[in-house]
Structure 1
């Protein structure tokens, strides 16, 4: 099954800290909704741009997207 990476972009000098904090909220949402999602994270793209993300199965994406309003998404390619 294809997986999608839902992404939130943060920009500015506090971008990485904001992305790190946003991941906390993503994990809270996963727990609250009892979702089977195990891949979340945050990454610095540059000094002034960072992302927070979670990976969902394509079939489960729409209600999560509608609830959490990510800025963008892409097909997730496993790092293994």
Structure 2
């Protein structure tokens, strides 16, 4: 089963702090819904662009996507 990375983009001078705060809510959601994976994170792409993400199994993606409305997604590969 593939893992998918659901991504929320935050831009501007407060992007990093907003993404960090958003990740806390993603962790709470993953725990509350007992998602198979509990992988979340924050990545600073530039000074004014930071993302928060939640990794889900492909078969769990649609209800999570519909509930949380991520900006985009991609196949998750561990670094």
Compute the TM-score of the two structures, normalised by the length of structure 2: 0.94
How big is the shift at 1:36?
2.2
Deviation, structure 1 residue 77: 1.2
> For the residues of structure 2 that align with 1:14 and 1:32, how far apart are their CA atoms?
28
State the alpha-carbon separation in 1 of the partners of residues 59 and 34 from structure 2: 16
Count of aligned pairs: 79
In 2, Cα distance between equivalents of 1:33 and 1:57: 13
Q: How does 1:1-80 map to 2 (within 5 A)?
A: 1-79=1-79
How far apart in 2 are the matches of 1:2 and 1:35? Answer: 14
TM-score by length of 1: 0.93
**Unmatched segments (≥5 aa) in structure 2:** none
Give unmatched runs, 5+ long, in structure 1. none
Q: Note if contact 2:10-2:51 (Cα within 8 Å) is conserved in structure 1.
A: yes
Structure 1 segments (4+ residues) deviating >4 Å: none
CA distance in structure 2 between the aligned counterparts of 1:77 and 1:31, rounded to whole angstroms: 22
Q: RMSD of the TM alignment (CA)?
A: 0.8
